[in-house]
Amino acid sequence: MAESKLKLNGVEVEFSPGETILQVAERNGVDIPTLCYLKDCTPTGACRMCVVEVKGARTLVASCAMPAGEGMEVQTDTDKVRVARRLAVELLLSSGVHNCLVCEANGECKLQALAYEYGVDATRFPSPTEIYPIEDDNPLITRDFSKCILCGRCVQACNEVQVNRAIGFGYRGAEAKIVTTGDRPYDQSDCVFCGQCVQVCPTGALTEKKAKGLGRSWETQKVRTTCPYCGVGCQLWLHVKDNRIVKVTAVEEAQPNRGRLCVKGRFGYDFVNSPERLTKPLIKEDGEFREASWDEALDLVANKFLEIKEKHGPDAIAGVSCARSTNEDSYQMQKLFRAVIGTNNIDHCART
Amino acid sequence: MTNSFADFDKAEMFFIIGSNMTEAHPVASTFVKNAVLNGAKLVLVDPRRTALADFATTHLPLKVGTDIALLNGLMHVLITEELYDKKYVESCTVGFEELKAKVMEYPPERAAEISGVPAEQIVEVARLMAANKPAMLMYTLGITEHTCGVNNVLSCANFQMLLGNVGFECGGVNPLRGQNNVQGACDMGALPNVYPGYQKVVDDAAREKFEKAWGAELSPANGLMIPAMFEGLADGSVKGFYIFGENVANTEPDIAHVEHCLEEAEFVVCNDIFPTETTRFADVVFPAAAWSEDDGTYTNSERRVNRVRKAVEAPGEAKPNWWVFKEIAKRMGQDWEADSGQEIWDNEVSMLAPQMTGIKFERIENDGLQWPVPDLEHLGTPFLHKDGCFTCGLGNFKAVEWTPPAEVPDEEYPLVLSTGRRLYHYHTRTQTGRSGGLNDLMGEETADISLADAAKLEIANGERVKLSTRRGSVELTARVTPEVQEGMVWMAFHFREACANWLTNPVYDPVSQTAEYKACAVKLEKA
Ligand code: SF4
Ligand code: SF4
Ligand code: FES
């Protein structure tokens, strides 16, 4: 069926029916800027950043929402297109209060990146005078609507990706705003704090509260790992600065979670920094723990196990491994029990 | 799972039983919800009206612990109405006649009487399942945490095989693993009867293989499972007890009994990242490196071996667990070569476990591979039993009889207590309780009770109540909710004071030794 062809910047390319112009361009390595477009969701055509020229069309068309058509001739980077995109960025910037100096999204903000790319310095339009108060009553997500460009990505993430149906568009015209049912704060709504809306927000309107002030995107290192909670095994990026995890995001396009996380995976990371962590081996003496060196504690355990084995046989020792720790840790523990102690008394709480 | 998470959003029919996915496996549930929005049908079987009920074509609110009766009833309809997959049953399975004989004892009316699900609904669902194939069956601990847990699982498998749904994309029998690395701990042989890769310790050839690899003589006898270990501590036959990571003093049923056993132990060693209720009983505690402080792998529910990476240094003198075991081995007379997660995996695990032969760290830098991976070129196995070809030849029907939970309501303890997990917490909160924000979102446990029982006992939402069983009692806040059916109380085991395990019944499935966390008799009263 993949017989259909169109011309992209003068080059003939194939497409399959149902593909949008944007998808065809992406597949062929042609970059078209987007803001509101969220992969695998229904295109809304809200921001008009992705406009392109299509020969014969009266106006510029939004490539994210326009199906590719047989014989179309598409230009993605003409003067007309650049002017339109520049205007779109200007309008979006002026619709809110964007102070990049103190914005958490600085460096990761798509709007900022586009302003840079299209040379929008200050804006020709006045900024709004009325400013929304910042909402951060809840412990995890900060909402700053004066930075919201109403692209609707959060609404799609919540309704089409996570299907938690906690937020949507509310009010009309200049009053338009993203709201929960009854326009209540997140912690009094149906929100389950998966943070998907934060992950997809292209500006600083939705940010991780716990990450505030801990590091700019260019100062942090990204380390890929697997979530330590349930058996789905979601793939995470740990954003690390100065030996500390400052935030967690999902790895896009990775199996099995394809860019999604839940509240535990996204926000349950900072237990590792708890001051209650065990940091020294402990030995109990007269009912109280005292700190000990590794050598002393290891010798004690080895000798005690040897003694029990000698006196009562290897089966008088039993062990429970950990279903939370790594494969390598479990492998080593069962090897210790089988090959060194000499018993198969090794189990784990496989059943919970 | 026989199948993959990648199937979830492509599936057209789901049968979800004993799984509160939106809270326990939230991301998996998003794919199910995506599929439903795209027109997939969903049959939800759960005593509670869990969040997925809003997405379900039908919700079957069965009584706690009646799964087998219900499934047998469904199969009765499939067989008597000749709706089952005859071709599949003939060519891919054995044991149909025995199954049929047993199932015939469960006409929908009888299944309805036991399960509380109306007979018409049972007939309807059987027809719906027959008309929509393949279907994915998913289950979680609502199936396994019963004295009849293994039979529950067999019953699910019978049902799917009868429908001809095993061995296909978007089909299969799919247990969602509760913890991040339960699958891996099993694969690694942290079980009393198998070496890494499920090679049996009683099998001479397997034992010789491992004796050679490890340079040691190995015991030919199966070891003890956890419940037997506790009994051994109590009767003195087990003297030394090594607990790695698990907070058994909160997670095992009947806390009072567990703590008594731990007290009896002669010598207890713990590896942990925090002091817990369990480490109180230790003679030696080793401080361990946590997630994000060491390199290794976890294996998820779809058998995918994923990398886990070190991103930060462990605090103080905390060390990787594998290093602790290696050091003890050295002091007991054995020098082990491997000196990192990668060396352990690449040089030992992947050499010894046949399913893992083709998995090396360099191959799982990005997405992990799903075992079995028989060689270094193999791309992994997204679903098992392809086209109904079972690993052991043919799929085996095992007729099973319904048995009630070990403890059922009576005059003194008139309600059923069932337990599980909640969204904002994980297990005993050693991690989530110390992660900023999660405690604020859920700071205390509640007893979830039905409107009917609340009215009967004149308990208001938010009022303090007392729950008692034959093991103990706890006081906590009542949450009156339509999620819970009459005659049932539901709570979790995340909080120490109001931990469900002061109440749960330490009785076990005879084969798997899984405890009956999902059902015991309880008394509810105002505190
Ligand atoms: S955190 Fe999740 S549930 Fe809450 S509004 Fe955002 S996307 Fe929706
Ligand atoms: S992010 Fe949530 S769903 Fe994913 S593995 Fe972690 S706990 Fe499970
Ligand atoms: S990306 Fe196409 S209109 Fe916003």
Amino acid at residue number B519 = A
B26 shares contact with chain A (CB less than 8 Å) = yes
B179 CA → ligand 1 middle, Å? 24
For residue A48, which ligand has an atom nearest its CA? 3
Contacts of B188 in chain A (CB under 8 A): 321, 327, 330-331, 334
Is residue B392 domain-resident?
A: no
Is residue B401 domain-resident?
A: no
Answer yes or no: are the C-beta atoms of A231 and B300 closer than 8 Å: yes
Domain count of the fold of chain B: 3
Are B242 and A318 an interchain contact pair (Cβ–Cβ within 8 Å)? yes
Number of Cβ within a 10 Å radius of residue B128: 16
Residues B246, B266: Cα–Cα separation, whole Å: 19
Are A352 and B304 an interchain contact pair (Cβ–Cβ within 8 Å)? no
Taking CA atoms, what residue in B is nearest to A286? B283
Taking CA atoms, what residue in A is nearest to B269? A301
**What CATH number corresponds to the domain at position B75?**
3.40.228.10
Q: What is the pLDDT of residue B431?
A: 83
Distance from CA of A10 to the nearest CA of B (A): 36
- Where does the pLDDT of residue B217 fall: very low under 50, low under 70, confident under 90, or very high at 90 and above? very high
Q: What is the pLDDT of residues B268-297, one digit of tens each?
A: 999 999 999 899 999 999 999 999 999 999
Distance from CA of B80 to the nearest CA of A (A): 36
Are A343 and B288 an interchain contact pair (Cβ–Cβ within 8 Å)? no
Per DSSP bridges, beta strands A61-62 and A177-180 are: unpaired
What is the residue-averaged pLDDT of chain A?
92
Same structural domain for residues B140 and B221? Answer: no
Is residue B193 domain-resident?
A: yes
Residues B393, A79: Cα–Cα separation, whole Å: 67
Nearest CA to ligand 3 atom 3: A45
Same structural domain for residues B314 and B193? Answer: yes
Whether residue A1 has pLDDT greater than 90: no
For A74, phi then psi, to 5°, come to: -115, 130
Partner residue opposite B180 with nearest CB, options A187, A231, A339: A231
Does ligand 2 come within 6 angstroms of the Cβ of A132?
A: no
Q: Percent of chain B having pLDDT more than 70?
A: 98
**Boundary-marking domain end, from B374, B405, B423:** B374
Does ligand 2 come within 6 angstroms of the Cβ of A233?
A: yes
Are A163 and B426 an interchain contact pair (Cβ–Cβ within 8 Å)? no
Whether residue A3 has pLDDT greater than 80: no
Query: What are the helix (H) ranges across B133-218?
Result: 141-144, 149-162, 182-187, 204-214
C-alpha Rg value of chain A to the nearest Å: 28
Q: Starting at the earlier edge strand, list the strands of the sheet with B240-244.
A: A288-291, A282-285, B284-287, B267-272, B240-244, A317-321, A346-348
Residue partners of B65: CB distance under 8 A and separation at least 6 = B146, B148, B404, B405, B416, B518, B519
Same structural domain for residues B154 and B280? Answer: no
Q: Percent of chain B having pLDDT more than 90?
A: 81
Q: Which of A258, A324, A341 is most worth mutating to test chain B (most B CB atoms within 10 A of its CB)?
A: A324
Q: Work out the average pLDDT over A115-142.
A: 80
**What CATH number corresponds to the domain at position B472?**
2.40.40.20
B216 shares contact with chain A (CB less than 8 Å) = yes
CA neighbor of A348 nearest in space, from A319, A315, A327 = A319
Whether residue B306 has pLDDT greater than 80: yes
A44 CA → ligand 3 middle, Å? 7
* Chain position carrying tokens 């809306």: A197
Bridge partners for B393 per DSSP: B390
Q: Where are the beta strands (DSSP E) in B338-457?
A: 369-370, 395-396, 415-420, 446-449
What angle (nearest 5°) sits at the alpha carbon of residue B357, between those of residues B356 and B361?
Answer: 75
Residues B377, B391: Cα–Cα separation, whole Å: 21
- Where does the pLDDT of residue B489 fall: very low under 50, low under 70, confident under 90, or very high at 90 and above? very high
CA neighbor of B139 nearest in space, from B34, B43, B225 = B43
Number of Cβ within a 10 Å radius of residue B345: 26
Is residue B409 domain-resident?
A: no
CA neighbor of A302 nearest in space, from A334, A328, A341 = A341
Same structural domain for residues B61 and B22? Answer: yes
* Nearest-10 Cα torsion for A181, A182, A185, A186: -10
**Boundary-marking domain end, from B157, B176, B195:** B176
Same structural domain for residues B162 and B226? Answer: no
Q: Work out the average pLDDT over B55-84.
A: 97
Token output for B381:
């196995």
Q: Work out the average pLDDT over B323-339.
A: 97
C-alpha Rg value of chain B to the nearest Å: 24
Is residue B405 domain-resident?
A: no
Partner residue opposite B188 with nearest CB, options A331, A339, A342: A331
Bridge partners for A283 per DSSP: A290, B284
Is residue B1 domain-resident?
A: no
* Chain position carrying tokens 């799609």: A156
What string of DSSP letters covers B331-360?
HTT------SHHHHIIIIIHHH-GGGTT--
* Chain position carrying tokens 């050295």: B330
Classify burial at A286, counting beta carbons within 10 Å of its beta carbon; exposed 0-12, middle 13-18, buried 19 or more. Answer: exposed
Q: What is the pLDDT of residue B394?
A: 77
**Boundary-marking domain end, from B374, B394, B425:** B374
Same structural domain for residues B305 and B287? Answer: yes
Partner residue opposite A318 with nearest CB, options B33, B238, B293: B238
Whether residue B210 has pLDDT greater than 90: yes
Nearest CA to ligand 2 atom 6: A265
Taking CA atoms, what residue in A is nearest to B242? A319
Same structural domain for residues B172 and B190? Answer: no
> Which is more confidently placed, B479 or A106?
B479
Are A271 and B290 an interchain contact pair (Cβ–Cβ within 8 Å)? yes
CA neighbor of B21 nearest in space, from B36, B10, B183, B131 = B36
Are B325 and A343 an interchain contact pair (Cβ–Cβ within 8 Å)? no
**Any idea which of A148-152, B137-141, B147-151, B389-393 has the lowest mean pLDDT?**
B389-393
Residues A195, A260: Cα–Cα separation, whole Å: 9
Per DSSP bridges, beta strands A244-250 and A235-241 are: antiparallel
Residues A4, A24: Cα–Cα separation, whole Å: 11
Domain hosting B498: range is 415-526
Answer yes or no: are the C-beta atoms of B140 and B24 closer than 8 Å: yes
What angle (nearest 5°) sits at the alpha carbon of residue A203, between those of residues A200 and A207?
Answer: 70
Same structural domain for residues B312 and B221? Answer: yes
Taking CA atoms, what residue in B is nearest to A243? B312
A205 CA → ligand 1 middle, Å? 13
Same structural domain for residues B107 and B243? Answer: no
Residue partners of A39: CB distance under 8 A and separation at least 6 = none
* Chain position carrying tokens 């929100």: A191
Same structural domain for residues B151 and B195? Answer: no
Burial B33-64 (b: 16+ CB within 10 A, else e): bbbbeeebbbbbbbbbbbbbeebbbebbbbbb
Same structural domain for residues B147 and B220? Answer: no
Contacts 24+ apart (CB under 8 A), B391-397: B394/B92, B394/B93, B394/B94, B395/B92, B395/B93, B395/B94, B395/B157, B395/B161, B395/B166, B396/B93, B396/B94, B396/B95, B397/B93, B397/B94, B397/B95, B397/B96, B397/B98, B397/B99, B397/B158, B397/B161, B397/B162
Per DSSP bridges, beta strands B41-45 and B58-60 are: parallel
Residue B436, CA atoms < 13 Å, CB-side half-sphere: 16
Sign of CA dihedral B453, B411, B519, B59: negative
Are A351 and B513 an interchain contact pair (Cβ–Cβ within 8 Å)? yes
Q: What is the pLDDT of residue B391?
A: 56
Are A349 and B242 an interchain contact pair (Cβ–Cβ within 8 Å)? no
Relative to the CA of A37, which ligand 3 atom is closest? Answer: 1
Q: What is the pLDDT of residues A222-231, one digit of tens each?
A: 999 999 999 9
Partner residue opposite A324 with nearest CB, options B210, B245, B299: B245
**Any idea which of A107-111, A321-325, B43-47, B226-230 has the lowest mean pLDDT?**
A107-111
Taking CA atoms, what residue in A is nearest to B514? A351
Residues A7, B406: Cα–Cα separation, whole Å: 71
* Chain position carrying tokens 């019963």: B146
Q: What is the pLDDT of residues B435-474, one digit of tens each?
A: 888 888 888 899 999 999 999 999 999 999 999 999 999 9
For residue B298, which ligand has an atom nearest its CA? 2
Domains and CATH numbers, chain A: 4-77 (3.10.20.740), 214-277 (2.20.25.90), 282-351 (3.40.50.740)
- List, as ranges, residues 283-342 from B with C-beta within 8 Å of A: 283-288, 290-294, 296-302, 304-313, 315-322, 324-329, 331-334, 336, 341
B384 shares contact with chain A (CB less than 8 Å) = no
Q: What is the pLDDT of residue A265?
A: 95
Residues A223, B292: Cα–Cα separation, whole Å: 9
Distance of alpha carbon A57 from the chain centroid: 37
DSSP secondary structure letter of residue B178: S
What angle (nearest 5°) sits at the alpha carbon of residue B496, between those of residues B494 and B498?
Answer: 80
Taking CA atoms, what residue in B is nearest to A293? B317
Q: What is the pLDDT of residues B72-116, one digit of tens each?
A: 999 999 999 999 999 999 988 999 999 999 999 999 999 999 999
How far the first Cα of chain B sits from its last, in Å, is 43
B143 CA → ligand 3 middle, Å? 46
Relative to the CA of A64, which ligand 3 atom is closest? Answer: 2
Q: What is the pLDDT of residue B247?
A: 86
Amino acid at residue number B457 = L
- Range ranked top by mean pLDDT from A110-114, A346-350, B399-403: B399-403
Are A326 and B322 an interchain contact pair (Cβ–Cβ within 8 Å)? yes
Distance from CA of B23 to the nearest CA of A (A): 9
Q: What is the pLDDT of residue B273?
A: 95
Same structural domain for residues B362 and B236? Answer: yes
Residues A280, A260: Cα–Cα separation, whole Å: 37
Taking CA atoms, what residue in A is nearest to B343? A328
Q: What is the pLDDT of residue B80?
A: 97
Is residue B278 domain-resident?
A: yes
Are A348 and B190 an interchain contact pair (Cβ–Cβ within 8 Å)? yes
Token output for B424:
């904002």
Amino acid at residue number A217 = S
* Chain position carrying tokens 């009956």: B516
Residues A253, B304: Cα–Cα separation, whole Å: 16
CA neighbor of A263 nearest in space, from B307, B32, B441 = B441
Q: Which of A223, A329, A333, A343 is most worth mutating to test chain B (most B CB atoms within 10 A of its CB)?
A: A329
CA neighbor of A115 nearest in space, from A105, A62, A221 = A105
Are B27 and A160 an interchain contact pair (Cβ–Cβ within 8 Å)? no
Partner residue opposite A264 with nearest CB, options B189, B214, B432: B432
Whether residue B398 has pLDDT greater than 70: yes
Are B318 and A238 an interchain contact pair (Cβ–Cβ within 8 Å)? no
Per DSSP bridges, beta strands A141-143 and A167-170 are: unpaired
Is residue B408 domain-resident?
A: no
Residues A257, A253: Cα–Cα separation, whole Å: 8
Number of Cβ within a 10 Å radius of residue A55: 10
Per DSSP bridges, beta strands A317-321 and B240-244 are: parallel
* Chain position carrying tokens 């819970």: B484
Q: Pocket residues for ligand 3 (CB within 6 Å)?
A: A 34-37, 45-50, 62, 64
**What CATH number corresponds to the domain at position B203?**
3.40.50.740
Sign of CA dihedral A53, A54, A55, A58: negative
